[in-house]
Amino acid sequence: MSKLQNERLKKYIEAEEAILAGQSYTIGNRTLTRANLATVEKVIQDLIDGGAVLEDDDSARNASTKRVVLLD
């Protein structure tokens, strides 16, 4: 998996954490709403399904790839 995909995963997880901390926030007299949680969660899952991992994920370093061939 590319380093870019791993970086995207890290940033999307940070975004998810920010959303979970508070969907809306106010600065002065303006109220701002963060991104849609469902959309962020979907992108995170798509990145993981595509093989992206967090850099400090021990399971990624010890992971192996297996190939399964189904015979009919």
| Confidence (pLDDT) at 43 | 95
The predicted-structure confidence for 40-71, as pLDDT tens digits, reads as follows: 999 999 999 999 998 765 554 555 566 666 67
In a domain, 69, yes or no: no
Domain of 7 in residue numbering reads as 3-54
Rounded CA-CA distance 46/28 in Å is: 36
Position 2 confidence tier, pLDDT thresholds 50, 70, 90: confident
In a domain, 47, yes or no: yes
In a domain, 31, yes or no: yes
| Confidence (pLDDT) at 49 | 93
Cβ contacts of residue 5 below 8 Å, gap of 6+? 47, 50, 51, 52
Q: pTM (2 decimals)?
A: 0.63
Count of structural domains, the chain: 1
| Confidence (pLDDT) at 10 | 95
